[in-house]
Amino acid sequence: MEACGRHENIVSLHEKFITPDKLIIIMDLIFGGELFEYLLERGRFSEKEVSVLMKKVCSALKHLHDRNICHNDIKPENLLLTSKFEDAVLKITDFGNSFFLSEKIIFDKPTGTSAYHAPEIILHQPCDKNIDMWSFGVVIYIMLCGVHPFDPSGNFSNAKIVLRVCNGEFARNDAWNQLSSDARNLIEHLLDPNPDTRYTADEALNHPWFGGRAPPKILLEKSAEQLKGFQNLSLLRASIVALGASLPTHVENARQFYANAPPVVSASERLGSYNRWNMDSNTYIKSFQLFDKDEKGFIGKHELRQLFRSFGQYLSDKDLRLIVAEGDLNGDGKISIQEFVGLMKRRMRSAWESGTDDLLRLFKIFDIDGNGVIDKHELRHVMDAVGHFVTEEDVEEMMLAADLDGNGSIDYNDFLTFLADLNETKLN
């Protein structure tokens, strides 16, 4: 972060202190929340407003790229506002996957968030700083259209998303058609599967859409509702993963997971290895946040017990201790966010590999009346249990996304398909 220097739209490092057992860093104070939340609170917004915000992000990316720094995890969750007030400043944060890059490289194991990965990352082809520009294009599309360009319905498997990304097949739906020609042109240049012709940050900043031509009067009436639906689906998956923490525990097997994880396979199996081992960690992070209500950055028995009880799951102290023991790889008696992501990836992978028992148990937690399907009332109960208010329309949209056979309820097969993008083994 020192190498990033100072830029108005990048979270800055102000000071650092080293003690015998700690590294203390002083950074910008950020308490305005995600850009997503800001747009949702606004309710309606114009292309012009989105253009102004995204130009700031693009300027920050140019600043990084001029210093040969690749952020490598541009996504809406990493775009934060400094406050809740009108003069809030938008900043890029989370440099955990960033790296210096003076020439093209090939990733042995992709990092970042797979839903925002450029095709060259997936295909193990040479990558440069323009992988950030692909992710930036995905973010602009989501902001303007309210859906993911390669998963507009919210129910595609990770494997299907990967194939669409590699082919550059993003959705050209009604929301897309209502955008200005300048907005569509910019996105098409950013979501160019060919990294050599994809726009750089310099080229994007010089585009007319960032030069004042974004129309101020075209209100994207459906975008806020669609953005909310986008978040609701993410929260539903996160809730399911959270309950996955209550699946049977095998502490020693979990501790051996990292040592036994296979390496990246041969070139002929590269796409398969991407699907098998590179999971989108964002769902797991959202799941962690459901437990970590006080935002301490770690969870223990108390936090596990509270969330499980909200779903009607009453685990014994022994079971809760086992969960903590499985996740607590550094032995400090609690589960950090990094440990939680690793724990849940192992558990969801194990659930698929061990057959249907664990997944059926997970399904039955949501199937409150035990009739073999999850209806709208039970879906609303899930949202209520995690303290997330949803309207009838929200529930209808979530049901449409998960109810793949269109019979008005979510059966076990629908449930498994909805979870497919969390599964490492099935995708292979």
**Closest by CA position to 45, among listed 282, 217, 160:** 217
Residues 52 and 167 in one domain: yes
Residues 240 and 371 in one domain: yes
Same domain, 231 and 217: no
Shared domain check, 399 and 305: yes
Say if residues 10 and 63 touch (Cβ distance below 8 Å). Answer: yes
Q: Which residues contact 306 (CB under 8 A, 6 or more apart)?
A: 291, 293
Number of domains in the chain: 2
Task: State pLDDT tens for residues 153-208.
Answer: 766 666 677 788 888 899 998 888 889 999 999 999 999 999 999 999 999 999 99
Annotated catalytic, 151?
no
User: Could you count the other beta carbons within 10 Å of the beta carbon of residue 283?
Assistant: 26
Q: Is 118 helix (H, G, I), strand (E, B) or coil?
A: coil
Domain boundary among 194, 221, 248: 221
Domain boundary among 221, 250, 273: 221
What DSSP assignment string belongs to 255-284? HTHHHHPPPP--GGGHHHHHHHH---THHH
Say whether both 211 and 293 belong to one domain. Answer: no
pLDDT at residue 46, rounded to an integer: 83
Burial readout 115-142 (b: 16 or more C-beta within 10 A, e: otherwise): bbbbbbbbbbeebbbbbbbbbbbbbbbb
The residues, any chain, with a CB within 8 Å of residue 260's CB and separated by 6 or more, are none
CA separation for the pair 271, 274 (Å, rounded): 5
pTM, two decimal places: 0.64
Integer Cα distance of 200 and 267 in angstroms: 28
C-alpha to C-alpha distance for 397 and 233, rounded to whole angstroms: 9
Task: Pick out the chain residues at pLDDT < 70.
Answer: 40, 42-44, 112, 154-159, 217-238, 241, 243-282, 311-312, 314, 351-357, 386-389, 419-428
Print the domain residue range for 48: 13-221
CATH of the domain at 29: 1.10.510.10
In a domain, 359, yes or no: yes
Q: Closest Cα to residue 171, out of 226, 112, 113? A: 226
Q: What is the pLDDT of residue 137?
A: 97
The token pair that represents 58 in the structure block: 């693009």
Asked if residue 408 belongs to a domain, the reply is yes
CB within 8 Å of 198: residues ≥ 6 apart: 130, 133, 134, 189, 190, 192
Same domain? For 214 and 246 the reply is no
Cα 165 from Cα 117, distance rounded (Å): 8
Q: Is 332 found in the same domain as 396?
A: yes
CATH of residue 376's domain is 1.10.238.10
What pLDDT, on a 0 to 100 scale, did the predictor assign at position 205?
Answer: 97
Q: Are residues 71 and 53 located together in one domain of the fold?
A: yes
Reference 71, options 141, 128, 8; nearest CA is: 128
CA dihedral for 292, 399, 314, 329, sign (positive or negative)? negative
Same domain flag for 301 and 166: no
Question: Tokens 């950013």 map to which residue?
Answer: 190
* Statement to judge: residues 147 and 262 lie in one domain: no
Let me know if residue 403 belongs to a domain: yes
pLDDT of residue 314: 67
Mark out the alpha helices in 43-180 (DSSP H runs): 47-66, 119-122, 131-145, 158-167, 174-177
Query: Cα-flanking dihedrals φ and ψ of residue 269, to 5°?
Result: -110, 20
Q: Are residues 246 and 169 in the same domain?
A: no
Is residue 285 included in any domain, yes or no? yes
In a domain, 5, yes or no: no
The radius of gyration computed from the CA coordinates of the chain, to the nearest angstrom, equals: 22
Count of other CB atoms within 10 angstroms of residue 408: 11
**294 and 322 assigned to the same domain:** yes
Q: Which of 28, 73, 317, 414 is an active site residue?
A: 73
User: Is 4 part of any domain?
Assistant: no
Q: How far apart are the first and last CA of the chain?
A: 36
Q: Is residue 266 part of a domain?
A: yes
Which of 169, 197, 221 is at the close of a domain? 221
